[in-house]
Chain A
């Protein structure tokens, strides 16, 4: 047996050597990815289960295994760690909830606009894309000036006879403000007393704070251009003949958009929503430059909290644990997005058009099924 195996090794098949060469060519990438991606992630995972205090290597004598203690501090043990984490999750949840749909809709709308044959379309494409290529730090500082209580936005509002809020200093939740208009304010009872992750149910329902709304507007403003570009590529992949055929059938602009454009760019929508969800759950630089979590922790996000907990408070275990919980949330939501935007690739056999095979155009058959 042994000799047979050895013989096989000595006499590889025709392509045996090529497999080896392939791995050899991959080696640099594997080493680089391993060193800068896999290894740091593995070390961060270890830190999240340790009491490492930032002194020396986390693999050295200063770090000890503490099991799930860091995760317990965040998820089950009442205290400051849990409060901050709960508030960060709440803030980021509303941020994602508002930014992702709005930026997807706005960027699709812009893409449809600049996909038309209009005058100066090149200018508009550049103009819409411009915020995306500007540094987020620069834009954040610009927005801080615009939305300062005595800034341009409030000046503009004052010309219209309205008094603007103090924006980045205003910790009131948007939903609380709206509810307040209808005379609904916090009272005792279940909402005030029930607590999840250190935050009362009433505060979970606060919505994004006015301060967070500034960041929401900024995110839509800066990212729509990038996603417009993705949508534009998707739109230009649609065969014009399909639209013409629909027009011949008497479909209105809206119907063409609803039943042809949207189904045909479904993969792009998935990409945009997924990138949006990932990007918005990782929001960091705007917070770091802008508010550092103020006012009243309402712009605190898990990514910033992770940084702050680790670097400023020397609590590396909890900081790494936050990062991993955030990772789990993002993976879960990405899978959910995949499920929601899954294209009906597997059309039931009985509903297939007879013509499909003849034309050989899968897209047409799918649209046929969809409409």
Chain B
């Protein structure tokens, strides 16, 4: 009797296990293999917005696009753009178009997530340096929508109080060190900036150094020029005329500058929004960064629109990208939330409308963007971590470490 029951139970168990396994298989198959067979021309745009002003402007542009073309353009604001993009790519059903920073473009392009935009209607209207920042293995993988460059931001009240005039805006490293010293008074330090490559990297370019060699195959992080650049930074740190924001307890240069903890900082044009919103009483001006031993140099950050390889409405999505990067829309964005348009045609109107920002626009001619190398963001992440110890570590130690990491990434290409 007991044996009898056992066999029966075993048989039931086997049968049920089979049912469960096949149920799982079916549901998984459905979940993984599902594909929307919709023919409607709706384009989804995923954006990482800087705030309500930007969201409003982009949504307005999307509505205008729908009026013109009849194509529905839905704008979704991501709370964590990278994570939501990754989820979209993995599901095989990503947003059709999305914001894409140039430090991620190579990683996604290598993985086959992006569709090339070489045939975009207005592809010739962008600055060449911006297109280069989005080119990976000969193809353009995002349409530049705006860009920023880093320049020197000066608190004009502190400047005057230290007895300095417009003639004293520094044009060499020696002058920068000297004005920083003069501005270090009354509990305020001369210069403060984030301890990261994304700010301090400007000195590398000014010294004639860079992350990679011209052919992009060799890491040159620990070159003599770069060591000289960080030795210069360190000399100012040691002199007490410069502090890193983590020493001040500020989240970024704009915060330290706005709280009057430093008289100068190195930031991009986005600082204007923060100054207006959070620190309206601090008078400031943006001037070009000083030239180093190898001339002028600064870093450039690009925003662009990427197109998903898995998009089902590529033609409509390309139309949307062309519209969103057209001269008129970009000027509208510039007025709404202060970005610099990526199209050359806007240069003149822009500098007339925003004379205060001419220094940032001047950077378009000599700025460098982060190389389009897959996984470079990981290495730069560690570079930033290591730079937090700059006051107590020798530059060569940090640069050697990062050089090895970058070379390993380059070898994997």
Give chain A's interface residues, CB within 8 Å of chain B.
5, 8-9, 12-13, 15-16, 19-20, 23-24, 27, 30-31, 34-35, 39, 53-60, 62, 79-80, 83-84, 148-150, 166, 169, 171, 293-297, 310-315
Structural contact, A16 and B83, CB atoms closer than 8 A: no
Minimum distance in angstroms from B374 CB to a CB of chain A: 8
Cβ-defined contact, B249 with A16, below 8 A: no
- B7 pairs with A8, CB closer than 8 A: yes
- Verify if B27 is at the interface (C-beta below 8 Å from A): yes
New contact pairs (6) apart from A12-B8, A79-B404, A312-B86, CB-CB < 8 Å: A8-B7, A9-B11, A16-B12, A27-B20, A31-B24, A60-B32
> If the complex has contacts A5-B7, A27-B20, are A56 and B92 also in contact, measured as CB distance less than 8 A?
yes
Name the 7 nearest CB pairs between A and B, nearest first: A149-B249, A53-B111, A13-B5, A169-B246, A80-B405, A16-B8, A23-B16
Please tell me if the beta carbons of A294 and B92 are within 8 angstroms of each other in the complex.
no
Given contacts A27-B20, A54-B86, A80-B382, contact A150 B9 (CB under 8 A): no
Contacts of A84 in B (CB 8 A): 382
Distance of A149 Cα from B246 Cα, bound (Å): 9
- B168 lies within 8 A of chain A by Cβ: no
Give 30 A-B contacts (CB < 8 Å), ordered by A residue: A5-B7, A9-B8, A9-B11, A13-B1, A13-B4, A20-B16, A30-B20, A31-B23, A31-B24, A55-B309, A56-B310, A57-B92, A59-B32, A80-B408, A83-B382, A148-B249, A149-B248, A169-B246, A169-B249, A293-B385, A294-B388, A295-B388, A296-B385, A296-B388, A311-B86, A312-B83, A313-B107, A313-B375, A314-B86, A314-B107
B112 lies within 8 A of chain A by Cβ: yes
B113 beta carbon closer than 8 Å to chain A: yes
| CA gap between A241 and B404 in the complex, in Å | 69
- Contact flag A311-B82 (CB < 8 Å), given A39-B24, A57-B92: yes
Q: Mark B375-400, 1 if CB is under 8 A from A, else 0.
A: 10111001001101100000000000
Contact in complex: A8, B246 (CB < 8 Å): no
Q: Is B108 an interface residue (CB 8 A)?
A: yes
Known contacts A53-B112, A59-B32, A294-B388: A313-B377 contact under CB 8 Å? yes
Closest CB in chain A relative to B396 CB, distance in Å:
16
A16 to B28, CA, bound (A): 32
* Inter-chain contacts of B8 with A (CB < 8 A): 8-9, 12-13, 16, 19
In the assembled complex, B213 has its CB within 8 A of some CB on chain A: no
Query: Complex Cα distance A325/B203, Å?
Result: 41
The listed residue (A34, A39, A58, A310) touching B86 by CB distance below 8 A is A310
B246 touches A166 (CB 8 A): yes
- B110 near A315 with CB under 8 A, answer no
Q: Is A171 within 8 A of B388, CB to CB? A: yes
Chain B residue contacts of A293, Cβ below 8 A? 385
Q: Are B24 and A34 in contact (CB under 8 A)?
A: yes
Chain A residues closer than 8 Å to B249, beta-carbon distance: 148-150, 166, 169
Question: Does A34 contact B382, Cβ atoms closer than 8 Å?
Answer: no
Nearest-neighbour CB distance to chain A for B263, whole angstroms, equals 18
> B50 interface residue, CB < 8 Å from A?
no
Complex CA distance for A62 and B89, rounded to whole angstroms:
12
Given A19, A54, A166, which contacts B90 in the complex, CB threshold below 8 Å?
A54
Restricting to B47-95, which residues have a CB under 8 Å from any CB of A? 82-83, 86, 89-90, 92
Give the interface SS of chain A, mostly helix, strand, loop or mixed: loop
> For residue B24, which residues in chain A have a CB less than 8 angstroms away from its CB?
31, 34-35, 39
Give bound CA distance, A152 to B209, whole Å.
Answer: 43
A166 to B195, CA, bound (A): 15
- In whole angstroms, how far apart are the Cα atoms of A83 and B402 in the complex? 12
Say if the beta carbon of B13 comes within 8 Å of chain A. Answer: yes
Contact across chains for B113 and A55 when beta carbons are under 8 A apart: yes
What CA separation (Å) do A56 and B32 show in the bound complex? Answer: 9
A108 to B88, CA, bound (A): 46
- Which B131-152 residues have C-beta < 8 A from chain A? none
B247 on the A face (CB < 8 A): yes
Q: Across the interface, do B12 and A57 meet the contact criterion of CB distance under 8 Å?
A: no
A79–B113 contact, CB under 8 A? Answer: no
> Is B7 in contact with A297, judged by CB distance below 8 angstroms?
no
Q: In whole angstroms, what is the CA distance A248 to B62 when docked?
A: 82
B20–A34 touching, CB < 8 Å: yes
Q: Please, which residue of chain A has its CB at the minimum distance from the CB of B244?
A: A169
Docked complex Cα distance between A293 and B248 (Å): 19
Cβ–Cβ < 8 Å partners of B404 in chain A: 79
Give the CA-CA distance A5 to B107 in the complex, in Å: 60
Given known A-B contacts A13-B1, A16-B5, A54-B86, A314 and B111 have beta carbons under 8 A apart: yes
B187-206 at interface with A (beta carbon < 8 Å): none
Report the Cα distance A83→B404, complex, angstroms.
Answer: 12
Residues of chain A within 8 A (CB-CB) of B83 are 311-312
In the complex, the answer to whether A80 meets B379 with C-beta atoms within 8 Å is yes
Residues in A with CB closer than 8 Å to B408 are 79-80
Distance (whole angstroms) from the CB of B403 to the closest CB of chain A: 12
Q: Which residue of B lies closest to A57 (CB)?
A: B32
Question: What are the residues of chain B within 8 A of A297 when measuring CB–CB?
Answer: 382, 385
Output the least CB separation between B237 and chain A (Å): 15
**Docked pose: A23 CA to B248 CA in angstroms:** 64
**Which residue on chain A has the smallest CB distance to residue B309?**
A55
Tell me the minimal C-beta distance from B408 to chain A in angstroms: 5
Contacts of A59 in B (CB 8 A): 32
Across the interface, which residues of A come within 8 angstroms of B19, CB to CB?
27
CA distance A59 to B404 in the complex (A): 34
With both chains docked as a complex, state the minimum distance between the C-beta of A309 and any C-beta of chain B, in angstroms: 8
Q: Which residues of B contact A12 (CB under 8 A)?
A: 4-5, 8
Once bound together, how far apart are the Cα atoms of A84 and B401, in whole Å? Answer: 13
Task: Name which residue of chain B comes closest to A10, CB basis.
Answer: B8
Chain A residues with Cβ below 8 Å from B389 are 171, 296
Which residues of chain B (87-139) have a CB below 8 Å from chain A? 89-90, 92, 107-108, 110-113
* B246 cross-chain contacts in A, Cβ below 8 A: 166, 169, 295
Shortest distance in angstroms between A50's beta carbon and chain B's nearest beta carbon?
13
**Chain B contacts of A16 at CB under 8 A?**
5, 8-9, 12
Q: B111 to A19, Cβ gap below 8 A?
A: no
Cα A57 to Cα B5 with chains together (Å) = 43
Question: Is A23 touching B86 in the complex (CB atoms < 8 A)?
Answer: no
Q: Complex Cα distance A314/B374, Å?
A: 10
Distance from B18 Cβ to chain A, minimum over Cβ atoms (Å)? 12
Of the listed residues A31, A55, A79, the one surrounded by the most CB atoms of chain B closer than 10 A to its CB is A55
A56 to B92, CA, bound (A): 5
Q: Determine which of B9, B82, B110, B379 lies in contact with A53 in the assembled complex, contact meaning CB atoms within 8 Å.
A: B110
> Contacts A39-B24, A314-B107: A80 and B1 contacting too (C-beta < 8 A)?
no
B23 to chain A: which residues have CB within 8 Å? 31
Query: Which residues of chain A are within 8 angstroms of B7 by Cβ–Cβ distance?
Result: 5, 8-9
